[in-house]
Structure 1
Amino acid sequence: MLFVSGVLGLIPETGKFVLDSVEDQTEHLNNMGEILKACGASYSSVVKTTIMLADLKDFKKVIEIYANYFPSPIPSRSTYQVAALPMDARIEIECIATRQ
């Protein structure tokens, strides 16, 4: 099993967000993909995610983007609105995966 702690939508080279929108930060799920790849896993090996949102009203936008990263069947997920995220992020995602 592989446990990937909270991933933010940061640009790895700068440690900053591309933009402040939840859509732009969600598009940086590729950061999670790179972590998975480095550990011998991929999006298809993810069995559970937890999504933390600054505003639960962004759920629909996030899920539309999220579905582009995970092959069917999309892994189970829990989604919560939280009081605050690191660096004033709009979204943070963690996952559990199996190694391939």
Structure 2
Amino acid sequence: MGVSEIDGPDHADLRRVLNPHMSPRRVEQLRPRKEEISTWFLDEVIEAGRADLVLDYATPVPAVLTLESMGMPAENWDYYAGVLPRLGLL
């Protein structure tokens, strides 16, 4: 269930936790890092010579960016890539 599917006090509580990490100012501060991460994953795809764009780019990039924007380590992004969509964060 995503953030947009949660109502009432639970929605307000979740938004209160997430808003500082997703504000326009915070997102803009992270732009250089977002570009670095995006480029790194693209370089990996190019080096491999083949790609499943969902598995090799569209899944890891948002997972890593979301984790880092929330101040969490991104080493285990593959685990969170499965969890974050269910929370409505990806």
* More helix as a share of residues: 2
> What TM-score comes out, normalization by structure 2 length?
0.31
Q: Give the number of the structure whose alpha-carbon radius of gyration is greater.
A: 2
Q: TM-score, normalization: structure 1?
A: 0.29
Larger relative CO (CA 8 A, sep 6+): 1 or 2? 1
